[in-house]
Amino acid sequence: MPDAPNLYLSLVYRRVLQRQDPALVQVSFDIAVLDKYRGAAGVSLIRTDTVGRIKREGGWSIDLGIGEDGRTVHACLFDLMNALPEQERDHWAQHVVSLPLSERFLQMRLSPGSCFDDGEVRPWE
């Protein structure tokens, strides 16, 4: 039997889809994304059991959810796009984690109009 759907995750994505607003879309990261900031001058890392914040003194801050396993954190796409300085974005991109995805589909989205041989077309059963 599949796990019960997460009520809050369903509500977040219902709002995203109904309002056509990606601001609440969650992006997950390996907890190692925080290593760069631990002990760094002018940076504070604080947390409770389920949420946290990274704050660079006089600069940016990002609020994070902490995954149940403690091995991941997640943040709103809007916050990442608007609060993270350009020079931090590559670091965060290197630590993204997600459910298993189709690599071919991602290639197709990155190169629209390109030809991809991905097997025979067939009904979805």
- If one counts the domains in the chain, the total is 1
Residue 34 or residue 112, greater confidence: 34
pLDDT digits (tens, 9 = 90+) for 73-95: 999 999 999 999 999 999 999 99
State the Cα–Cα distance between residues 52 and 61, nearest whole angstrom. Answer: 10
Radius of gyration of the CA atoms of the chain, in A: 18
State the Cα–Cα distance between residues 68 and 86, nearest whole angstrom. Answer: 29
The answer to whether residue 111 sits within a structural domain is: no
CA angle 50, 94, 73 (to 5 degrees): 5
Burial of 56 (0-12, 13-18, 19+ CB in 10 A): middle
pLDDT digits (tens, 9 = 90+) for 11-57: 888 999 999 988 889 999 999 999 999 999 999 999 999 999 999 99
Whole-number pLDDT of residue 1: 44
Reported as a pLDDT band with limits 50, 70 and 90, residue 116 is confident
- The answer to whether the predicted template modeling score (pTM) of the entire model surpasses 0.85 is no
The answer to whether residue 124 sits within a structural domain is: no
The answer to whether residue 125 sits within a structural domain is: no
State the Cα–Cα distance between residues 29 and 17, nearest whole angstrom. Answer: 23
CB 16 within 8 A of CB 25: yes
Domain that holds residue 52: 7-99
The answer to whether residue 47 sits within a structural domain is: yes
